[in-house]
Amino acid sequence: MKQLLNRRVAYIATMVAILPLLAFGPQERTALTRWAFIVGVSDYIHFEDVEGGDLPGAEHDARRIRDALVMRRGFPEENVRLVLNHDATKSAIREGITGWLVQNARPGDNVVIFFAGHGSQMWDESGDEDDGLDETLAPADANPTSTEFDISDDEFNDWLGLLPTDNVLVVLDNCNSGTGTRDVTPFSRGRLLGRDINDVDRPAGVTRRALPGQAGDVTGFDPQETRVLELAAAQPFQVAVDAYFPAANGQEAFHGGAFTTFLVQQLWRAPENVTYENVFEDAYEALKRNRFQQDPYISEDVSLKDFPLFFVDGGPSGSGEMALPVVSTSGRTAQLGAGLALGITPGSTFETPSGARLVVASVGQRTTTVDVVSGSVRDGDQARLTAHVYLEIPLLVNMASIDTRLTEALRTALAGAPAIRIIDDENLFSHLIVRRRGDELRVIGSDGFARHEAIGTTPSAMAALGSILRTEAAAKSLGDMDNPAQSFGLTLQLLGGKTKFGVGEDIAFIVESDRDGFVTLVDIGTDGTVAMLLPNQDDPSMQIRAGRRLEYPGADLAFTALPPVGGGMVRAFLTERPLDITIPAGELYASGGEGFAAAVAEALKRAAGLENGAVRLNSWGTASIVYEITN
């Protein structure tokens, strides 16, 4: 697909010149400001509530983005327009961008355009697409047998070209291809419209240079060479997932775009002057830590990605520290202005600047109910999360479609593994689903993407499947140890910026922190082994100083990429005191399986400190990185 073009033609200057004649003239303003046009389509007019039709999470995505921008990032409420479901027609989206935004924004203003819904494709009449198709956004009135109401990439580019500012962020949580790589599950839907392009009349003169199933377009909505910055939920050839996030400990379940859910978390958590690229990388890391397979995309070679988030010269800034606003009070109960998407849990603790202590009673879709256990609060107060309750949720593995003989053999292989639970009802949420394909089994995630394939169907093969599931449980145990209110920066990188290594290559890590502390590095290897790389017998503790760069290992020690090939993950933790993990005598490292991963998580909680059963959050930080070992 073509790049988003920065079409600044002469008539824009004419249009800007007459804007003071409008009822609201942006030239009357002396300070720059922020604008947002937010679209979420969960309910499609002409499509049913099935895969390829309605999307349970898209409306929630739009509302959560709106809340983060207004409550956390300094967007004036009157400058944010939210268009949902049947109201989000092509004409309404066109008017929102080419009418409302063009008439009100001025040069230098920050503009955000967000779309959550389906993507699709249409016949390319200009002949500039290698696969003969233009990518499209699917508004609420998209049609099963016509692309008349689709928003093509060309058309979308033209709309963006009318904006009188170059300070533009476009966030798209949809997809245009890639369904063949994904299984349908009850727990997620792909954000690709359920329409066969071959059922759509082909305009005269169109030459189709590629056929369905052949290599597709890999360019996407890519705004290179402009200051229009795009964040996309997935690569152009991948599926962006509308995911189901299960209920736990009395909470509600919720739906949301996998990428948007983690992006919203980072919009709330990120410090004031963080860059777009920093926020994108943190959302990407969280997506991978939670085992989603899609790979989000950020525009390359666009200078705006290095600017502070929602920057406007001389304009108002968002809040510096992550805090939730008190939106209502009633006696000794209050409502905070954010909910499930932030990962807040019952029993967790908030505090206000005046010293009031609030304990979470329940968490809803967009609000959190707290009990005021000390002090007092009023509407508008800001509450900071200080201690978090980590829910102990086992890895849920669905075996409903597998015969009883194999299920029982797997239960035997998993004896003594309390972190894994077998689910026999195909409609109950499961993190992993085991399905049969001929004489082999495959393990897929709740998002429908294959995690492991070519597993035998003999009882003895269940031992191998058991090992795979223990690895997944270990990854989940450590992946769940996120700090939802981390108060300082901590970064983990692989030396040289690589994330792929051949067998036998050396691997080294770079850790940087904004705070002094002790570093722990834990590797979840491709063979399922959980190894505490640091500290070890040679380096029983490793302290890092704020602002200093730690490269590990040094010249006297090397980490080497070992078989088997596959993906792994390294977690870094920074604590005020070392984790109390014993390294066995005669061994260089402490290591083990899912049980050892759980032990590391418990040691981290102890090092962080507990407050009425909740883990203190201001005493530690974490970062992670995923890697791949290849032949």
pLDDT digits (tens, 9 = 90+) for 422-435: 999 999 999 999 99
Instruction: Please list the alpha-helical segments (H only) found in 116-198.
Output: 153-161
- For residue 110 the two structure tokens come to 């920050």
CATH code at 521? 2.60.40.2550
Distances (CA, A) of 585 to 122, 588, 589: 65, 8, 10
Distance CA 218, CA 234 (A): 11
Asked which of 83-87, 183-187, 407-411 is least confident by mean pLDDT, the reply is 183-187
User: Across the chain, which distance is largest between two alpha carbons, in Å?
Assistant: 81
Q: Say if residue 373 is in the same domain as residue 412.
A: no
| Whether 347 contacts 360, CB under 8 Å | yes
Last residue in a domain, options 306, 333, 368: 306
Say yes or no: 108 and 170 in one domain: yes
Residue-level pLDDT at 313:
85
N- to C-terminal Cα distance for the chain? 33
Asked which of 459, 479, 499 is the last residue of a domain, the reply is: 479
Same domain, 171 and 291: yes
Q: Among the residues of 546-593, which ranges form H helices?
A: none
3-state secondary structure of 605: helix
Distance of alpha carbon 383 from alpha carbon 329, whole angstroms: 13
What confidence tier does 231 reach under pLDDT thresholds 50, 70, 90?
very high
**End-of-domain residue from the set 262, 278, 306:** 306
**Nearest 10 degrees: Cα torsion 512, 516, 517, 521:** 0
Number of C-beta neighbours around residue 417 at 10 A = 18
Residue-level pLDDT at 595: 93
Dihedral sign (CA 339, 341, 346, 347): negative
Pair (356, 460) in one structural domain: no
Q: Is residue 354 part of a domain?
A: yes
Which residues, other chains included, contact 133 with Cβ-Cβ below 8 Å and sequence gap of 6+? 121, 122, 123, 124, 197, 210, 216, 217
Pair 352, 378 in one domain: yes
Q: How many CB atoms lie within 10 A of CB 486?
A: 19
Same domain, 297 and 423: no
Tens of pLDDT, residues 164-198: 999 999 999 999 887 667 898 999 999 999 998 88
* 319 part of a folded domain: no
Is 2 within the bounds of a domain?
Answer: no
Residues 588 and 616 reside in one and the same domain:
yes
Q: Is 191 helix (H, G, I), strand (E, B) or coil?
A: coil
| Domain CATH number, residue 330 | 2.40.30.20
pTM of the model: 0.90
pLDDT digits (tens, 9 = 90+) for 326-352: 999 999 999 999 988 898 999 999 999
Q: What is the C-alpha separation between 236 and 121, in angstroms, rounded?
A: 11
Whether the pLDDT of residue 213 is over 60: the answer is no
Residue 27 lies in a domain: no
User: What is the CA 623 to chain-centroid distance, rounded?
Assistant: 15
Residue 109's Cβ-side half-sphere holds a number of Cα atoms within 13 Å equal to 24
CATH code of the domain containing 141: 3.40.50.1460
Nearest to 251 by CA among 330, 341, 383, 372: 341
Q: Indicate if 377 and 512 belong to the same structural domain.
A: no
pLDDT recorded at residue 588:
92
Between vectors from CA 15 to CA 13 and to CA 17, what angle results, nearest 5°? Answer: 70
SS3 letters across 495-522: HHHCCEEECCCEECEEEEECCCEEEEEE
Work out the pLDDT band at 206, boundaries 50, 70, 90: low
Do residues 349 and 296 share a domain? Answer: no
Q: What's the token pair of residue 526?
A: 């491709």
Count of domains observed in the chain: 4
- How high is the mean pLDDT of the chain? 88
Do 517 and 575 contact (CB within 8 A), yes or no? yes
311 assigned to some structural domain: no
454 pLDDT more than 90: yes
3-state secondary structure 307-365: CECCCCCCCCCCCCCCCEEEEEEECCEEEECCCHHHCCCCCCEEECCCCCEEEEEEECC
Q: Are residues 376 and 517 part of one domain?
A: no
Q: SS3 for 370? A: strand
The answer to the question of residue 312 being in a domain is: no
Query: pLDDT tens for residues 121-153?
Result: 988 766 555 556 889 999 999 999 999 999 998
Instruction: Quickly list H helices, 95-208.
Output: 102-104, 153-161
Q: Are both 168 and 238 inside the same structural domain?
A: yes
pLDDT at position 322, please?
A: 84
Indicate if the pLDDT at residue 110 is higher than 80. yes
Least confident of 23-37, 116-130, 229-243: 23-37
Residue 199's pLDDT band (boundaries 50, 70, 90)?
Answer: confident
Q: Is 191 within 8 Å of 239 (Cβ atoms)?
A: yes
Measured between alpha carbons, how far is residue 53 from residues 46, 56, 176, 294 in Å? Answer: 8, 10, 14, 20
Residues 267 and 357 in one domain: no
pLDDT in tens, 358-395: 999 999 989 999 999 999 999 999 999 999 999 988 99
Tokens 């600047």: give the residue.
Answer: 353
Q: Is 495 contained in some domain?
A: yes
Answer whether residue 433 is part of any domain: yes
Question: Looking at 212-280, which runs of residues are DSSP E strands?
Answer: 228-232, 241-245, 254-257
Which tokens hold the place of 564? 């088997």
Structure tokens that stand for 104 in this block: 């009100």
Taking the C-alpha atoms of residue 260 and residue 173, their distance in angstroms, rounded to an integer, is 7
- Domain range for residue 402? 395-479
